[in-house]
Structure 1
């Protein structure tokens, strides 16, 4: 009986460990994998909505991403978008400063709205960049 007891404990521990490993979340997707997953999700939504034209377009986009996307080019493209968005925010800030120096309340309000829009686009671009960047924790 003493022999079976440690064997039973070992088997139980083995089963629990296997279940624990199976319960671990899958690693987060990044780069082109995220892009493919997003398009696949959109394809499923198009199928559910019965939108065959949209589905066909998305399937073409998915095949192009699968064939041509590399994480390095995707990262470079997104970094360029962030750079351009920062430049746009700077330009809008200069426009606002100019309007404020002239004191025209209508132009000031318009420039503030444009600046807020540009800042939102910058934030969106930075969020997308975070999605495609490789994890920095591993380095």
Structure 2
């Protein structure tokens, strides 16, 4: 006596595999679509926590993004952020060099920390540029 007929087994396998295949095929959003999705997710979280003020602010932000965001403007904004971060790294490097010439170890350590922070911000800006 057979426990499962081939048709029942095939149906069961396709039911189990369908959600897995659907998740694998979902493309990752980029640009303005990703920004809208992120805000929508935050709105849902604000609703779930009963934070109506945050929800209202996020809904306003979502309508602004929907009305004004273009992928070209978003890319330009991100490019400007990268440029600003590069300038900040250069400025911090110059500050560190100046402190090193004076030989003040306390200032050197502070300048190194600030430079590391600026480099981290630059890397984050570069990462956002790729989204």
Name the TM tier (shorter chain).
Answer: 0.7 to 0.9
Instruction: Identify the residue that residue 34 of structure 1 maps to in structure 2.
Output: 34
Instruction: Identify the residue that residue 110 of structure 1 maps to in structure 2.
Output: 110
Q: Deviations over 1:16-56 (max 9, x none)?
A: 7xx59645421121100111011111111111111100000
Alpha-carbon offset, residue 63 of structure 1: 0.6
1:80 aligns with 2:83: no
Superposed, 1:1-139 pairs within 5 Å as: 19=18, 22=22, 24-131=24-131
Distance 2:124 2:23 in 1: 32
TM-score w.r.t. the length of structure 2 is: 0.82
Distance 1:119 1:43 in 2: 32
Alpha-carbon offset, residue 108 of structure 1: 0.4
Q: Which runs of 5+ in 1 are unaligned?
A: 1-11, 132-139
Q: Which runs of 5+ in 2 are unaligned?
A: 1-9
The structure with higher relative contact order (CA 8 Å, sep 6+) is: 1
RMSD (Å) for aligned C-alpha atoms: 2.1
Distance 1:97 1:72 in 2: 38
Aligned residues: 119
